[in-house]
């Protein structure tokens, strides 16, 4: 195998691949579903079961999954609006302020 052939194969292997167009919608739908399932699990959990440490695992996992999915959902939605915020911003500080405001607003929407 010659060097040029190897470089050509390597270039072909490392060519960027565009994700499917509906990927963002599918990821968002999955994150919403995970957050809802975690919330349902926490709502179904009975406080009287707290006495037995063997019962702590499911609510703990539900809390971690729900918090992780909610955080990822907030970041995903804020990232989707990043281009518009960047175009409206005057400088980097303004962009940072708008981003933090957008993250806080999106988090308020998700919290009950």
- Please report, in tens digits, the pLDDT of each residue of the chain (112 residues total): 778 888 888 888 888 888 888 988 999 999 999 999 998 888 887 777 777 788 788 888 999 999 999 999 988 888 888 888 888 888 889 888 888 988 898 888 877 6
Residue 86: what are its φ and ψ, rounded to 5°?
A: -65, -40
How far from 65 is each of 21, 25, 34, 71, CA to CA, in Å? 26, 19, 7, 10
pLDDT at site 33: 94
Q: Give domain status of residue 54, yes or no.
A: yes
pLDDT at site 57: 86
N residues, the chain: 112
How far from 38 is each of 46, 80, 81, CA to CA, in Å? 14, 24, 26
Q: Give domain status of residue 2, yes or no.
A: no
Number of domains in the chain: 1
Q: Give domain status of residue 72, yes or no.
A: yes
Q: Give domain status of residue 71, yes or no.
A: yes
| Contact call for residues 63 and 38 (beta carbons, < 8 A) | yes
Q: Give domain status of residue 8, yes or no.
A: no
pLDDT at site 29: 94
CB atoms under 10 Å from CB of 31, counted, come to 20
pLDDT at site 59: 87
CA geometry: angle at 71 spanning 39 and 51, to 5°? 40
CB atoms under 10 Å from CB of 108, counted, come to 9
State which residues form the domain around 50. Answer: 22-110
Which residues, including other chains, have CB under 8 Å from residue 82's CB and lie 6 or more apart?
99
pLDDT at site 81: 83
Q: Give domain status of residue 74, yes or no.
A: yes
């Amino acid at each position: 195998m010659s060097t040029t052939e190897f470089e050509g194969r390597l270039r072909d292997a490392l060519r960027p691949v565009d994700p499917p167009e509906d990927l963002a919608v599918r990821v968002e739908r999955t994150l919403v579903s995970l957050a809802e399932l975690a919330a349902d699990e926490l709502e179904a959990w009975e406080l009287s079961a707290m006495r037995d440490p063997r019962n702590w695992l499911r609510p703990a996992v539900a809390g971690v999954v729900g918090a992780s999915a909610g955080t990822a959902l907030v970041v995903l939605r804020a990232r989707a609006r990043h281009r518009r915020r960047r175009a409206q911003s005057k400088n980097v500080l303004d962009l940072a302020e708008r981003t933090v405001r957008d993250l806080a607003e999106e988090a308020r929407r998700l919290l009950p």
